[in-house]
Amino acid sequence: MTENTSTGVARRTRGVRPRRAAVAAAALAVAAPLTLAASGDAGATGVARAADRPIVFARYDAAAPVEDLYAISPSGGAPVKLTHTPAVSDVMPSWSPDGKRVAFLRYGSGGAIDGIWTMKSAGGDLKPVPGTKGASDPAWSPDGKRIAYAKPVGTQREIYVADIDGSPATRLTHSAQDEFHPTWSPDGKNLAYSRADAATGNSRLMRIQLATLTQTPVTLAGSHDWTPDWSRGNRIVFSRVDPTGFAHLYVIRPDGSGTHRITSARANDRNPSWSPDGRRLVFTRGGTDDADPEHLFLVRADGTALTQLTTTDSHDLEADWRP
């Protein structure tokens, strides 16, 4: 994916990434969280166990250049492979709110398979979402009944919402810019998303109220802001390319106030996702080109306790922490 070729954080990668450039403990350590996710019930462990819920992500490497989905415990260990599709790429995973299923983008180089699918949290029982050919960036609603996504309309992408069975699909945005990567507010009444201007290479965060379709800027025009994720605590984390040319993580309130930076290393930090308790984040660091691995990292929301989660010579992308 090339998230912003004009900023120096482009990633020359395969598969869906050129298309999306147009928008701008061993296995057992994971098994318990995955079983918990499949049940959709935290049980007696309650909130204390919430932040140990599994993280799902896409991975590819030189030996397997087509992406599959994996899950890993935030406490570490070996990832568990959830999809096994040597000729088809599976990317952009999004947990259902009950943790029982995962929505994701599946596509093949020939175009025969292209769209949003869902599967059980441990893999299997794959179901396509009708009407999503060419779509990307699925985001499951907090009530579990709907899915938001970006879909091409002419030369740009717009935000849609549909029931989880694909109908009826409602187009929410109508603009000359690319609208993509929607994320739901905790009450399900709003979406935040990225709006990219192909002419300038800039991208800002926007917010849309579903009842009225009123759109409100969250970040300033002229910014390079990407991949927002809205927490249950009503904060939005996103990746911003600053004047140094590196992408760092920032947090902002939905009304555009209270912006502060979380990461500041000379590295590219992208695709953040909140832990269910809103205390930590998982994100991808690295990836200036195909020779530069991309790993998952964890960090507290205040920028402390940075921890590397994955270490293999691979590209680990688009992580989503189970709600």
d(Cα 91, Cα 108) in Å, to the nearest integer? 11
Tokens of 144: 């579990």
d(Cα 65, Cα 315) in Å, to the nearest integer? 10
Residue 100 lies in a domain: yes
Do the bridges between strand 190-197 and strand 260-261 make them parallel or antiparallel, or are there none, so unpaired? Answer: unpaired
Q: What is the DSSP letter of 43?
A: G
Residue 315 confidence class, pLDDT cut points 50, 70, 90: very high
Closest by CA position to 299, among listed 285, 288, 287, 286? 285
pLDDT in tens, 217-270: 999 999 999 999 999 999 999 999 988 899 999 999 999 999 999 999 999 999
Residue 263 lies in a domain: yes
Say how many domains are in the chain.
1
- In CATH, what number is assigned to the domain containing residue 193? 2.120.10.30
* pLDDT for 24: 32
Tokens of 10: 């482009």
Q: Show the domain range for 195.
A: 16-321
Residue 3 lies in a domain: no
Helix ranges (H only) for the chain are 16-20, 26-39, 46-50
Q: Which residues, including other chains, have CB under 8 Å from residue 132's CB and lie 6 or more apart?
A: 115, 116, 138, 149, 151, 162, 166
Residue 10 lies in a domain: no
* pLDDT for 49: 63
Residue 37 lies in a domain: yes
* pLDDT for 113: 81
236-241: strand order across its sheet: 225-230, 236-241, 247-252, 260-261
